[in-house]
Amino acid sequence: MLTITFYAHASFRLEADGLAVVTDPYTPGAHGSGFDRIDEPADLVVMSSATDRFHSDPSHVSGDPIVVNALELPPEGALVGGLRIRPFPAYESLTFDFGGRDPDANALYLFELGGIRVLHMGDIGNPVPPEHLDALAGEVDLLLALTGAHATIALDDLDRAIERIRPGAIIPMHYHSPKGVLAIEPVERFLDRFPAAEVRRVGSSRLELTREMLGHDRPVVFVLDQSR
């Protein structure tokens, strides 16, 4: 079983096997992401890059965690703090206007915890490259999916990635929140692409996911409430 807590934006807490992992922590507060501090301990923090204030600020994760930038891992992956993590390098959108700066590199990253293979989509802003899709096809149980469009992957391209990867479950992330400062799409834009029977609104920021809850022919979409 994998216990999942949605903090905000692209940041989750995943707990199993005596290990607590936090993904892509944002910079909190009005001058950062708009979201509240995490202020919970973890053993490991994984970031999709070290350059984006919405994805790479571990300063408010307590407990002296090991912090790893997925972009710095070897292509075949590495064992970090008891967790094997494999990176899949990517870039922010090549067409979005970032105010004159070039798109930053980031990475999707894959790891297994509690018997669940998890793929975090990082901050990819373009179609997932074919070589990544080939490597990930059939290897992902839970997809933490970017669903806000604009500077991240377009929803049509996300549909194609989901069809190729074939995850058993999806948790949407990186969508519009009244507390957030980014002008991105609401989660409903993504949910409308699925039959209502495939969407589970959990009504909480926490989910205990087992393999028995995964879909087979089609993924189950679990919508969590933000807790920060």
> 2-223 is classed in which CATH architecture?
4-Layer Sandwich (3.60)
pTM equals 0.96
What residue spans define the domains of the chain?
2-223
**pLDDT higher than threshold 80 for residue 221:** yes
| Rounded distance between C-alpha atoms, residue 87 and residue 74, angstroms | 7
> Model confidence over 136-171: pLDDT tens digits?
999 999 999 999 999 999 999 999 999 999 999 999
Main-chain dihedrals φ then ψ at residue 15, nearest 5 degrees: -130, 130
User: Quick check: helix, strand or coil at residue 220?
Assistant: strand
> What is residue 32's predicted lDDT score, i.e. its pLDDT?
95
Structure tokens at 107: 């990475």
> What is residue 92's predicted lDDT score, i.e. its pLDDT?
77
| Rounded distance between C-alpha atoms, residue 111 and residue 58, angstroms | 19
**pLDDT higher than threshold 90 for residue 95:** no
Percent of the chain scoring above 70 in pLDDT: 97
**pLDDT higher than threshold 70 for residue 100:** no
